[in-house]
A and B are shown apart, each in its own frame.
Chain A
Amino acid sequence: MRRPRPFDVLALLLLAAAGWALWGWAVREAVWAGDAAACRAAGGACWAFIGEKWRLMLFGLYPPAEQWRAALAVLLSVAFVAACVRWRRAWPLGWLGLLALDYALLAGGFLGLSAVPVAQWGGLPLTLLLTVSGVGGGLPLALLLALGRRSRLPLLRLLAGGYIELIRGVPLVSVLFMAAVMFPLLLPPGWVLGKLLSTQLALALFVAAYLAEAIRGGLQAIAYGQYEAAAALGMRHGTALATVILPQALRIALPALTGIAIGTFKDTSLVVIIGLFDLMTATRAALGDPRWLGFSLEAYLFAALVYGVLSWSLSLAGRQLEKR
């Protein structure tokens, strides 16, 4: 151990002061239950506001009686990530099952479950649904793009490279706007693409470009001898890709893929801009209640906690997955 320096002492003092101030605001002078008037009278944080609004923030406008379905959809997504750590081969296709289950649970209309229209879906389940469809839906396209970019056929190389660079060069906000204003124009008159569906499509198209670059990195790391060995065993090109090359490439690309999944999870918050009712929009909606004006910091902290815990768990799962 080395001798403490003046800077360390300074940092410790600043930290202690900040900690004391935070303790005072968040715990000592906080209001845990009561109404807005009680909160305004006290000087600290108003956790009563979160107590009043947590349902709106987490589940949006989903009917309260059916709320367990939305909660179950969230639990299923978390369980899926945990299951992927245990059964590594599950993730490339398992997301499809998860997506179908989440959809069925949220939509209902069978086995005595009442039907809930898409317009009432919201909050955390919607955020997770967008994440799963963005990453999962982007994956097949990303595989094709990565293989295309490494193809020996010049046209495929050009098309895949052009698409990847074009998408990576523009911000997600502009792609979401495109989904909102341009996708409806491209369909034949009379066809309607729901807002949720076109956003999911746009997210998948956007994320695919980033996933493709990560997979290409994995493909590039495969030793050439692997291709030769597969060919020497008499495998056809497609068989070799599916059983020898891609499993290894995906494993190498895993850290990058996890990073993109976390990024997508955070980026789904941008749907605020096109008015989809995800966790972020629901938080903003809770802030708009005229009886409870002025407690935005508490609400944002709560939302930050939800986002933070989930993306941190995702990165933890990613690290576990790499170790195995």
Chain B
Amino acid sequence: MQARSYPWRLSRGRALLLQGGVLLALLALLAWCWHNASLRLAAQGVSSGFGFLQREAGFAIAETPIAWSPADTYLRALGIGLLNTLKVSLPALLLASALGVAVGIALGAQSRLWRRLARGYVESLRNVPLLLQLFVWYGVFSALPPPRQAPQLLPGVFLSGRGLLLPAPLADLRWLWLAGAALLAVGLAWALYRRRWPLPVLLPLPPLAAVGSWWALGAPPLWSLPVLGGFNFHGGLLLSPEFAALGCGLAFYSASYIAEIVRGGIDAVPAGQREAGLALGLRRAELMRLIVLPQALRVMLPPLAGQYLSLIKNSSLAVAIGYPDLVSIANTAINQTGQAISGILLIMLAYLSVSLVVAALMAWWNRRLLQRGEA
């Protein structure tokens, strides 16, 4: 790795001695901790290990993406926790990225007003703990009016204190037809885009194809709309106040960090690139989309990967507002069974695997970007 030899030499014997000493000290510490833990666990009558995972959990979970009853095992409860973590992290990632890019562009805008506004957003969100922001969001979402007075934002979209209601797609095979038609239209649009057809003509093609094939199928009902009946809603998709608060809190907080990354990336694009684009007669929006952002993306990707990872890790703050994510369910399991060591190990294992997958995906994207630049 290093071409030149290091000025200080350590004799082979000393190197071995040093490493052996460190290893021995570490092993001794671990053995001591292990010994103490086994003494304490024996006193409490808890047998450590992972056997408890197959036992009946016996607690209720507020939000379950897959079927759940208290008679199910701890293993399934932890699985639900992991799914809930991913369920809130992925939409928050998308929202944070979109918002972060917009604010990041505004940070470098020509207009001083927009620059100031964006700077104000970034500074005020970055300097306040995420947890505090989550409490505020949770307060807002749970203070919304009860279902009977809930305002309807769009047809089928309600804001109520029980949660945010959206139309939900029904499980229906005819969705496949629509998806197929839309995919075909995307392929066609891509081919035409290569032949320099204008985007405003091409972009409506896929949605038009989907709506057209829906019409051709006889306009069947494919959505379940929330309907007010009695004191609550029926049908539709209910996003709980906890989910909405956690998602919004994570997204708006991370967006302030992503905005700085985007601004840094844009600043790193040489001014000559913009000038060349302007000289070619590109408009500002085209300049941003075709010249600046693609080059800025290469600078942005490594720090962006770190930001995505920290968003996923921050989703563990869920426990403070009662959203049943992995850490909060594992914590309940630890409190019930006393299996502290196994529980903590499982949490760490789960987050490490998620981190590794995200890191690998981002590294793959980074490699692709760099390769495309060299061609």
Contacts and interface: CB of A to CB of B under 8 A. Distances in A.
Interface string B6-23: 111010000100110011
B287 to A, nearest CB: 16
B352 A237 contact: no
B113 A173 contact: no
Contact of B132 (A174, A228, A304): A304
A289 interface: no
Chain A, interface SS category:
helix
Nearest to A186: B33
Contacts of A284: 135
A308 B343 CA distance: 35
B19 A300 contact: no
Interface stretch (A44-52, A58-66, A74-82, A266-274): A266-274
Interface stretch (B148-156, B173-181, B309-317): B309-317
Contacts of A303: 132
A262 B347 CA distance: 26
B229 interface: no
Given A166-B348, A174-B348, A185 B135 contact: no
A186 B8 contact: no
Contacts of A240: 8
B131 A272 contact: yes
B113 A182 contact: no
B302 interface: no
A307 B127 contact: yes
B113 A8 contact: yes
B320 A273 contact: yes
Interface string A161-201: 00000100111111001100110111111000000000000
Interface of A: 2, 4-5, 7-8, 11-12, 15, 152-156, 159, 166, 169-174, 177-178, 181-182, 184-189, 224, 227-228, 230-232, 236-237, 240, 262, 266-267, 269-270, 272-273, 280, 284, 296-297, 300, 303-304, 307-308, 311-312, 315
Interface of B: 4, 6-8, 10, 15, 18-19, 22-23, 26, 33, 36-37, 39-41, 43, 110-111, 113-114, 117, 123-124, 127-132, 135-136, 139, 313-314, 316-317, 319-320, 327, 331, 334, 340-341, 343-344, 347-348, 351-352, 355-356
